[in-house]
Structure 1
Amino acid sequence: MLTPTHLLFAQTTYLTACVVAAHPPTPEEAAVALLGAALPDLDSRASYVGHILRLTSDFLERYFGHRSMTHSLLVQILAGLLAFWLLPFGFALALLSGWVSHSWADMMTKGGVAWFWPARIRCVLPGNPDYRMELAKGGEMGFLVIMILVGVVMMPLAQTGKGTAGLLRGALGDLEMVRRDYDQHKGDFLFSVQVRGKDNRTDRDISGTYAVMGPWREAGLILETPEGPRSLCAGSACNWYSAHAELTRGEPIKTSTVNVTTSLISVAELRERTEALSQTGAVFLLGTAQAEGIKPEPPTLEVTADALTFAYATPAILDKLQGRSLRNVDLTLQVRHAPDASLPEQNPIKPVGAATPELLERWLR
């Protein structure tokens, strides 16, 4: 096949591999795919890469022949193992996609490829020689057009980073599948969910796209909305009912945590800590504490008697507790930030006096 056909087929193969692997493509990796598509023709002095590396090309063509060793399954396996060991996943995927696509394209020509080298048998696709392509003839031109069309389809699918399973889940719109996909990759990426559904209390339509704050119970999600956090599930036990949900992966992130475990801490100090962490990324509170007279703020703050349970609450929740102290605190401050950022150093918790009994505190205020 002509070199442009090999290069285009390599790009389409790379994009298809990105869809399957749930790996968003990059221009740098696409360039590596082009390199992978050119390397097998190192065994031909007439090829572009053969002109560049003449001595190596002369040696390979003289002792092994064209479309033999460098086009073989054995060399592809060895190159793939070495690439995935030494290179980042995306670059290894691109290199192998280009290399393998070259051999498969040459199988569609009349000469075929010694794919099982060192055996001399030639592999061809299809078996009937009347349907194989000739160099620069109508068959190759038709194949070129088909690969362009396939590439146009694969590009937006690959950029979603969802993978074949994620695309199927999105098509089905099943929230349980969305939750499993989120649980598998949470902490590594920002996520949003496109949802069609209703408000369980008012029956109004809530269809739209919302950022995901975190999981809610066994099969739901907590969403960031203009009205505040809302729980989403496939039933009536939450704020919003989901008739169709589709998860979208956003920017890569790193998730770091800071533990706050103490018998007593003022809300003011806890707010200071969250504000310092907010300079690095988005902060969420998870865990438990005790205080009396607190109103629940579901789904991020549940209250049972004097027990508080925080579930992916933002620091803004602390504004409702100003002037108070929290007892028996066991909180995790989760920070979602850029992969190259680091958290500021945390000072020890400041000692505070004995807690005023909650009953007395209400009278004093």
Structure 2
Amino acid sequence: MLTPTHLLFAQSAYLTTCVVAAHPPAPEEAAVALLGATLPDLDSRASYIGRILRLTSDLIERYFGHRSFTHSLLVQLIAGGLAVWLLPDGYGLALMAGWVSHSWADMMTPGGVSWFWPSRIRCVLPGNPDFRMELGKGGEMGFMLVMTLLGVVMMPLAATGKGTTGLLRGALGDMEMVRREYDQYQGGYLFSVQITGKDNRTSADISGTYSVQGPWRDAGLILDTPDGPRSLCPSSACQWYSAHAGLNRGEPIKTSTVSVSAGLLAVSELRERVSELTQAGEVFLLGTAQAEGVKAQPPTLEVTTDTLTFAYAAPAILEPFQGRTLRNADLTIQVRHSPDIALPAASRAPIQARNEDIPALLERWLK
């Protein structure tokens, strides 16, 4: 096949592989895929790369022949293993997408490829010679057009980073699938969810796209909305009802945590630590503590008697607690930040237990 055909096929193969592998494409990787598409023709002195690396090409063609050694499955497996091991994430995938696509394209020509080298058997695709493509003829031109259209379709699909499974889940709009996908990748990416649904209390339409704060119970999500956090699930058990939902994966992140375990914990101390961590990224509170006279703020703060349960609560949840003390605090401060940012050692240190033994006469007056 002509070199432009191989390059077009390589790009379409790379983008298709990105869709399947849930790997967002990058221009640098696309360039590596183009390089991979030219490497098999090292066994031909007449090829572009053969003219550049003339000595290497001459040796390979002399001892192995054209469309044999460098086009073979054996060499592709060895090169693929080395590429995945030695190259950064994504570059090995791009290199092999281009390399393998070259062999498959050459199988569609009358001459075929010695894909099972060192066996001399030539592999062709399809088996009927009438449907194979002659060099530079109408069949190859049609194939180039199809590859161009395939690349146009695959580019936006690959850019979502969802993978085939994620795209199918998004198309189905099933909330259970959305939650399963979120659980699989949470902590490594920012997420938003595109929903069609209504408010369970007012029946108002709430369709739109919202950032995800975290999971809610077994089947739902907590969303960040202009009116505050809202729980979303496919039933009336939460604040918002989802008729159709699709999860969107955003920027990669790193999730760090700071543990808090204290018999007595001044909220001012907790707020001070949270304020330090907020400078690095988004901060959320999880866990339990005890305090009297606290009003619930579902879904991120639930109250049972004097037990408070924090569920991916933003730092603003602490504002009504100014001047208060929490008892039996067992909390986790979660920080979602850029992978390039390292939290200061002091801010990552756990808040240790203090004053575990509270006098019985004083305990009832602690608020």
Which structure 2 residues correspond to residues 84-163 of structure 1 after superposition, within 5 A? 84-163=84-163
1:261 aligns with 2:283: no
Equivalent position amino acid for 2:273 in 1? R
CA drift at 1:361: 5.7
Answer yes or no: is the 8 Å Cα contact 1:6–1:105 preserved in 2. Answer: yes
Quote the residue 2:74 is aligned against.
74
Answer yes or no: is the 8 Å Cα contact 2:325–2:366 preserved in 1. Answer: no
Structure 1: runs of 5+ lacking an equivalent: none
3-state SS of 1:272 partner: helix
Structure 2: runs of 5+ lacking an equivalent: none
Residue-by-residue CA offset, 1:15-59 (whole Å, 9 max, x unaligned): 000000000000011011001100000000011111111111000
Residue-by-residue CA offset, 1:217-263 (whole Å, 9 max, x unaligned): 00100000001000001101100000000000000000000111111
Quote the residue 1:339 is aligned against.
339
1:14 aligns with 2:33: no
CA drift at 1:357: 4.6
| 1-structure distance, mates of 2:124, 2:183 | 44
1:70 to 1:256, Cα distance in 2 relative to 1, 3 A:
same
Answer yes or no: is the 8 Å Cα contact 1:195–1:209 preserved in 2. Answer: yes
| 2-structure distance, mates of 1:358, 1:327 | 9
Answer yes or no: is the 8 Å Cα contact 1:290–1:329 preserved in 2. Answer: yes
Answer yes or no: is the 8 Å Cα contact 1:292–1:358 preserved in 2. Answer: no
Residue-by-residue CA offset, 1:182-219 (whole Å, 9 max, x unaligned): 00000000000000101111110010000000000001
CA drift at 1:299: 0.5
3-state SS of 2:261 partner: strand
Equivalent position amino acid for 1:204 in 2? A
Equivalent position amino acid for 1:169 in 2? R
Quote the residue 2:284 is aligned against.
284
Equivalent position amino acid for 2:308 in 1? L
Which structure 2 residues correspond to residues 168-183 of structure 1 after superposition, within 5 A? 168-183=168-183
3-state SS of 2:245 partner: strand
CA drift at 1:349: 4.8
Answer yes or no: is the 8 Å Cα contact 2:260–2:350 preserved in 1. Answer: no
The CA RMSD over aligned residues, in Å, is 1.6
| 1-structure distance, mates of 2:100, 2:55 | 24
Quote the residue 1:37 is aligned against.
37
The farther-off stretch of 212-221 and 82-91 is 82-91
3-state SS of 1:69 partner: coil
The farther-off stretch of 340-349 and 113-122 is 340-349
3-state SS of 2:90 partner: helix
Answer yes or no: is the 8 Å Cα contact 2:106–2:112 preserved in 1. Answer: yes
1:164 aligns with 2:164: yes
TM-score computed with the length of structure 1 as normaliser: 0.96
3-state SS of 1:257 partner: strand
Percent identity reads 74
Quote the residue 1:217 is aligned against.
217
| 1-structure distance, mates of 2:37, 2:362 | 74
Equivalent position amino acid for 1:236 in 2? S
The number of equivalent residue pairs is: 362
CA drift at 1:89: 2.9
| 1-structure distance, mates of 2:228, 2:212 | 12
The farther-off stretch of 350-359 and 6-15 is 350-359
TM-score computed with the length of structure 2 as normaliser: 0.96
3-state SS of 1:284 partner: strand
